[in-house]
Amino acid sequence: MLNNFPLWPQQASTLARHVDALYIFLLVVTGMMALLICAFVIFFAARFRHRPGVRAEQIEGSTALEITWSAIPFLIFMVIFVWGALVYFKERTPPADATEVYVVAKQWMWKIEHAEGQREINQLHVPVGRDVKLIMTSQDVIHSFYIPAFRVKQDVLPGRYTVEWFRATKPGVYHLFCAEYCGTQHSGMVGDIVVQEPAQYEAWINGGSTGPLSATGEKVFAELGCAPCHRADAQGRGPSLQGVFGKTVQLQDGRSVTADENYLRECILDPGAKRVKGFQPIMPTFQGLVTEEQVNALVAYIKGISAAKPADGAKTSASKAATDVPAQSNGAQPNGAQPNGSQVQ
Ligand code: CUA
């Protein structure tokens, strides 16, 4: 209904209408309050204006009135709070089986890596109707990955991963903005989200790829000499990484952590911080020796060997990123095919 209203961005994800509904509710409530207050101000000014021979009467409190004007706003605020929390949790909780895409931000560009191996810059191809989870980090300062048409925005921080997810509902090309001031060319740190029909997307994702991200990770793993210590048979000087992703890890200092993306990342860059119980602090840091892309590839590789060979009764299926390569389609579309009727909104 608001598609032709220029201040209203297009709705192109499943989250969009939830955000918009709450926003419209806020507009209506605050608009009605503003009108109500204006009306009362005018009414009272006229009704109780100064007239000759009439003395103003001092009125002392009214408990009933005070309770009313406290309780009603309280209930309205509680509606906003609960509704807002529900939308927030929906936005913050990526579905477990979402397609995973790695994003590395730097001054001033977005570097995208798909699990299948496709890389792109300032452009993200996604299929329509599939959940997509972005695993994002920054090489330098704080950026923010903002897609107005999807109503999603998430800060992208150096030194850790943050995530964002969406499910696109309409093929087309949508704006991508950096929404956190990050230096002189912040306003130029923009791009396109290209939403394609599944068949077009399969053709794109399978064309001209350098192989799965997890395979790149396996290569990096070998090149950096990780394998002799992190042996699959658990006889090495470091913990075996088979099946570790998504599991709980006991640490030397008695704590335990879940081996998620951020933990694996920290172990690569700051191995002493959360050392696994029973192992010596002999692993060197790889801070400065590996690029963000290589860290992403390593994480994808470790996830892959976790998904492929679940160890003793591991129920976790938190990730199947590396094994989640879609079937080859007999795509007639050339690489990078644009969706029909696409236009920047
Ligand atoms: Cu990156 Cu602003």
Q: Which domains does the chain have, with CATH numbers?
A: 213-308 (1.10.760.10)
Q: Is 180 in the pocket of ligand 1 (CB under 6 A)?
A: yes
Q: What is the mean pLDDT of the chain?
A: 83
186 lines ligand 1 (CB under 6 A): yes
Contacts of 279 (CB under 8 A, 6+ apart): 237, 238, 239, 252
Beta-strand pair 131-138/162-167: antiparallel
The closest residue, in CA terms, to atom 1 on ligand 1 is 143
In this predicted model, what pLDDT tens digit does every residue of 265-298 receive, in sequence order? 888 888 888 888 888 887 888 887 788 888 888 8
Distance 124 CA to ligand 1 centre (A): 17
Ligand 1 centroid – CA 136 distance (Å): 13
DSSP string, 28-44: HHHHHHHHHHHHHHHHH
Closest among 267, 269, 271, 258 to 318, alpha carbons compared? 258
Comparing C-alpha atoms, which of 316, 300, 248 is closest to residue 276?
Answer: 248
Residue 143, ligand 1, Cβ within 6 A: yes
Identify which has the larger pLDDT, 235 or 175.
175
> Which pLDDT belongs to residue 325?
39
Q: How remote is the CA of residue 207 from the centroid of ligand 1, in Å?
A: 30
179: CA distance to ligand 1 center in Å?
6
Distance separating alpha carbons of residues 278 and 252, to the nearest angstrom:
7
Query: Is the shortest distance between the CB of 189 and ligand 1 below 6 Å?
Result: yes
Atom of ligand 1 nearest to the CA of 107: 1
What is d(CA 297, CA 113) in angstroms, rounded to the nearest whole number? 9
Q: What is the pTM of this model?
A: 0.66
Is-contact 300 104, C-beta < 8 A? Answer: no
pLDDT at position 193, please? 93
DSSP state of 295: H
Q: How far is the CA of 186 from the centre of ligand 1 (A)?
A: 4
The per-residue pLDDT for 324 is 39
Shortest CA distance to 120 belongs to which of 285, 342, 336?
Answer: 336
**Residue 321 and residue 100 in contact, taking contact as beta carbons nearer than 8 Å:** yes
Q: 77, 124, 78: which is closest to 101 by C-alpha?
A: 124
Measured at the CA of 300, the angle between CA 176 and CA 12, to 5 degrees, comes to 25
Judge if the beta carbon of residue 182 lies within 6 A of ligand 1. yes
Mean pLDDT, residues 308-316 taken together: 43
Counting from 1 in the atom list of ligand 1, the atom nearest the Cα of 179 is 2
Q: Are 329 and 202 in contact (CB under 8 A)?
A: yes
CA 101 to ligand 1 center in whole angstroms: 19
How many Å apart are CA 286 and CA 293, to the nearest integer?
Answer: 13
Q: For residue 285, what pLDDT is reported?
A: 83
Tell whether ligand 1 has an atom less than 6 A from the beta carbon of residue 275: no
Query: Relative to the CA of 186, which ligand 1 atom is closest?
Result: 2
Strands of the 131-138 sheet, one edge to the other: 119-121, 109-114, 99-106, 131-138, 162-167
Going by pLDDT thresholds of 50, 70 and 90, the confidence category of residue 24 is very high
Q: Cα-Cα-Cα-Cα dihedral of 10, 14, 15, 16, to 10°?
A: 20
Find tokens 């850790």 and name the residue: 160
Atom of ligand 1 nearest to the CA of 105: 1
pLDDT score for 45: 92
Structure-block tokens of residue 84? 């807002």
pLDDT for position 48? 86
SS (H, E, C) 203-270: HHHHCCCCCCHHHHHHHHHHHCCCCCCCCCCCCCCCCCCCCCCCCEEEECCCCEEECCHHHHHHHHHC
